[in-house]
Amino acid sequence: MKKILFSLSILAIFVVSCKNTKQEKMGNPLLSSFNTPFQVPPFDQIRPEHYEPAIDSAIQLAKQEIDSVAGISAPATFENTVEAIAYSGKLLTEVYSVFSNLNEANTNDTLQKVAEKITPKISAFYDELFMNEKLFGRVKEIYEKKDSLNLNPEQNTLLGYTYRSFIRSGVSLPAEQKEKLKKINSELSLLTLKFGQNVLAENNRYKLIIEKKEDLAGLPQTVIDAAADAAKENNLEGKWVFTLHNPSIMPFLQYASNRELRKQIQQAYINRGNNNDSLDNKKNIARILELRIEKAKLLGYNNYAEYVLAENMAKTPGRVFDLLNKIWKATLPVAKREVTELQDIIKKEGGNFKLEAWDWRYYAEKQRKLKYDLDESQAKPYFKLDNVREGIFKVSNKLYGLNFKELKDIPKYHPDVTVYEVTDSAGNHQGILYLDMHPRASKRGGAWMTTFRSEHKKDGKKIDPVVSIVCNFSKPAGNAPSLLTFDEVSTFFHEFGHGLNYLLYDATYPGLPVPPDFVELPSQIMENWAVEPEVLNFYAKHYETGEVIPKELVDKIVKSGHFNQGFATTEYLAASFLDMSYHTLSQMPENFDVTGFEKQALDKLGLIPEIVSRYRSTYYQHIFSGGYSAGYYGYIWAEMLDADAFEAFKEKGIFNKATADAFRNNILAKSGTDDLLKLYVQFRGKEPVIEPFLNRRGLN
């Protein structure tokens, strides 16, 4: 996913000429110009104690800049007001980007305590900015005469977004309600932070320790080796340790013959944040929802989903539910058919039990072998992480002319990280790319793309991006390198699609947002190349022999594209419905019980007991500590777009230059700078349709 940081939005870049602060003289590297290659953050010099004073100084500088814009005596113009706001906040953006990214990817107790101190300060700064009536008066003056200003599409988009940001932040509210909204925002900032910290702690504290070798039955040797390495790291040499990180738990659920152990680890996974202890998230959820409803009502909306979706492609909860219900109606019968098929396997093997959630992946893997003669462990040796990375680089080169050169002598925030200079076909610098691929206790779960610096232009000069892709793929284990499942391969392609979006972005103004139901288009379309036979042939090579993946194995992978789609689509849709159920509440029910509400919502939907929602409430970081509240549907909305968009590539060739140029120029380079549907139609020549999506998932 695209990691949506707590960012300054339109306050994305602050032109600061006065960095000679007391902290700088005292040696705070965050308050000095970054004297590093390509001006990347000086990670090797930054210490935890630098962050809070740097944030304090940056906020003060930002306030001075905003006050100077609000206090201009000259009549308001686009340049002296809207443009000036857009270019403000550079230092604060730089400092907070470094901090927030490291707090996600390489955190510790100290950083988490710093986060608790600085988060309310940044929330308060936002409130002060967007409730500044004098500043808003200047923006409003320009907005009301916009039709006579002859603005280009990006300027018009920036003006509209700036104006709406003030309105949506409560600038027009009475003073008493403004103060109430400030308190809501401050409390929400801490609650969402705490939610994520609890999930990280839950991920790290659970360990399934196996002492008997027979309990490893069914597991591939690479998985066993990884568990042995994990045991050594925990001073449990001679044993095997499995954790709740995806590279550990998912293969265990997929291959382990011991049903009781599968149940144990699966139950631990789905009950994260729901153990009635210090890491329990139920009270956090209830309070987050209560505050979001209050915020929405203050701003004139019936519920929080209405507030969020007003800025998304979907626009209304009704349109989201229409799409989800249409797909759910097509999907549920497929999932029920898959239950019957898996239950038949259990019966044929002599099992006298009903299929349960902890059985699904295990028997689905058996079904994959039966249906397609495909054992995922047979394919995994062909997906060496290094080769997959080089394959992605080659796809990016063939589509967009990009080249990637590893940089050795450049600051990194962790030894696992690799860094690349990205250049275009003419050799011009395009940006810097960080890759952080393996799990560790200091990193939250999942995969995401983020930026340390976003592309924009200032005084005619292009400011190049610094992009980071963070994943949690299996480490090298035993004598084997890091080998990926095909799902992990798809994840890498997905996150790289986000990266390409931000490496190729070509806009003048920083901070223009892209909603989840469009921002996932560049990432999800990239997944299509991962499974194309032509592409597999140049990156899928056996890690021992160098043999290119056999055509018959490629054919099996392609043919299995519809495999288990009832399960995959149902678990995703359940999470999307759950998100919308929470955020369409117009008031909190009496004696609100998170577990009971979740069960009621999913039972009403008709979710079958053999499938668990992809995210249960208490570890649902996308909506309770990320930027996807009332927006998790965006993945499937964007998949509808990407399935339709990829048809254009298939019609003319997956590396057709004209098609790639059209996608680059209209989607990757311009996301957020103009009306999103308009940009899509400019690429595709027509509005998107849902049929390619349904065909891809085998739901027609």
Catalytic residues: 495
Q: How many CA atoms within 13 Å lie on the side-chain side of 626?
A: 25
Report yes or no: 56 and 117 within 8 Å, Cβ to Cβ: no
State the residue for tokens 């957020």.
Answer: 672
Residue 51: CB atoms within 10 A of its CB come to 24
The residues near 597 (Cβ < 8 Å, ≥ 6 apart) are 581, 582, 589, 617
Bridge-partner residues for 403, per DSSP?
A: 423
User: How many separate helices (H) and strands (E) can be counted in the chain?
Assistant: 29, 9
d(CA 24, CA 32): 6
Helices (H), 373-428: 376-379, 385-400
Which amino acid, 186?
S
3-state secondary structure of 36: coil
Which residue matches tokens 């777009």?
641
Q: Quick one: which of 198, 291, 287, 285 has its CA closest to 594?
A: 285
Phi and psi at 287, nearest 5°, equal -70, -40
The sheet that has 448-453: what strands, in order across it? Answer: 403-407, 418-423, 429-436, 466-470, 448-453
Task: List, in order, residues 6 or more apart from 558 with CB less than 8 Å away.
Answer: 531, 533
What is the full DSSP assignment across 373-385? ---HHHHGGGBBH
Token output for 700? 């027609």
Measured distance CA(461)–CA(457) in Å, rounded: 5
CA 506 – CA 214 distance, rounded (Å): 57
Quote the tokens at residue 193.
């932070």
Instruction: Report the distance separating Cα 312 and Cα 299, nearest Å.
Output: 17
Q: Are strands 456-458 and 461-463 parallel, antiparallel or unpaired?
A: antiparallel
DSSP 515-529: -HHHHTHHHHHHHHH
Q: Identify the CA nearest to 45 among candidates 22, 21, 29, 23.
A: 29
Name the DSSP class of 238. Answer: T
H helices of 15-174, in order, are: 22-25, 51-70, 84-86, 90-105, 109-130, 133-143, 153-168
